[in-house]
Amino acid sequence: MRFLLVDGYYYAFRSFYAMPSLSTRSGEPTNAIYGLTIVIRRMLADLQPDFGAVVFDGGLPADRIALRSDYKANRPEIPNALKVQIPWLKELLKALGLTPIEVEGQEADDVIATYTKKAIEKNIDVVLATNDKDLLSLIGPHVSAYTVEKKKFRLITEKDIEEKWLVHPWQLPDLLALTGDSVDNIPGVPGIGKKTAAKWISRYGSLSALLNASDIPDKRFAQLIEENKELIMTNYKMLELKNDIPLPIPIEELRIKPNYAEQERLFKRFEFKKLAEALKEHPEKKSSEKSSENTDILFG
């Protein structure tokens, strides 16, 4: 069995900015709704998952804000043209068969990490639809990440992470604790880049072992570690995913069940004429076909 977990705001933002400015005749913006619809249809066709959810941020956790008050402070506000589409977007996701999930006061990453842990315990394979470095740390024997390259989909595996980042997936938080992550406004140690961080984490096996090592032969690197221990430890606490979030819906209740009548209604509501016509003619067939739309710009 396969469980698809989609990073909701990642794809909502990506759809909003990648698609042209679309709107209904009355002026309602629909580009994010349309883009995400095409993306989800493509994912369902490619992966044929049994269970699925699209997880949205429910706020910033108090414990991370307590560690660093400017956490994610560099993130732009949600544009109003996107904000007004979110409620309708969630309705369309339900019609497509995926459950939108949002846990108040929790980031999507932690909710996804918790669902991933629960799925593995139930011998369910997980596919993560995201490009978030934090979530890529979950990749393992039963977890992969979905992407599209040159119009063909592929699953990112442990080997792909090791080739790109030079560490195992589970070591990504260790590496980022040293290098920082500008996306989340987490500062790195000045003078330590990806290759250097990967080299020493690989040699010592973990960030904890590296921080407690007394035999680092590179004196300059050893000095940087010693001088920035507090920063590094704070970074790691910020980056470490929580996998014990109380889940609002058990996995068994997230089985994908498309509602074709509701899809048709919403497609007409948002004036997606081609989608509505195709669904009306062959609902079962069209729902499982790969979309003819070029989705390359929406993936990655």
Cα angle 256, 87, 293 (rounded to 5 degrees) comes to: 60
Report field, pTM of the whole predicted structure over 0.75 = yes
The pLDDT value given to residue 143:
98
What total of structural domains would you count in the chain?
2
Same domain membership, residue 88 and residue 19: yes
- 203 Cβ contact partners less than 8 Å away, ≥ 6 residues apart: none
Same domain, 232 and 252: no
Given a cut of 90, whether residue 230 has pLDDT beyond it is yes
Helix (H) or strand (E) holding 162: helix 158-165
Q: Report which of residues 209 and 277 the model is more confident about.
A: 209
**Would 143 be classed as within a structural domain?**
no
Indicate whether 22 and 110 sit together in one domain. yes
CA-to-CA distance for 8 and 120, rounded, in angstroms? Answer: 21
CATH number at 177 reads: 1.10.150.20
pLDDT in tens, 161-212: 999 999 999 999 999 999 998 888 889 999 999 999 999 999 999 999 999 9
On whether residue 158 sits in a domain, the answer given is no
Using alpha carbons, select from 242, 246, 281, 249 the residue that is nearest to residue 264.
Answer: 281
d(CA 44, CA 103): 24
12, 105: one domain: yes
Exposed (0-12), middle (13-18) or buried (19+): which is 4, by Cβ within 10 Å? buried
Q: Are 41 and 293 in contact (CB under 8 A)?
A: no
In a domain, 270, yes or no: yes
Cα–Cα dist 204/211, whole Å: 9
**How confident is residue 216, by pLDDT bands cut at 50, 70 and 90?**
very high
Q: Which CATH number covers residue 123? A: 3.40.50.1010
Let me know whether 77 and 35 are in one domain: yes
Read off the pLDDT of residues 22-70 as tens digits, 9 standing for 90 and up.
999 999 999 999 999 999 999 999 999 999 999 999 987 788 888 877 7
Residues 226 and 186 in one domain: yes
Clarify whether residues 12 and 53 are in a common domain: yes
As a whole number, mean pLDDT of residues 123-129 equals 98
Beta carbons within 10 angstroms of residue 60's beta carbon: 15
For 53, the domain range is 2-138+242-298
Distance CA 276, CA 271 (A): 8
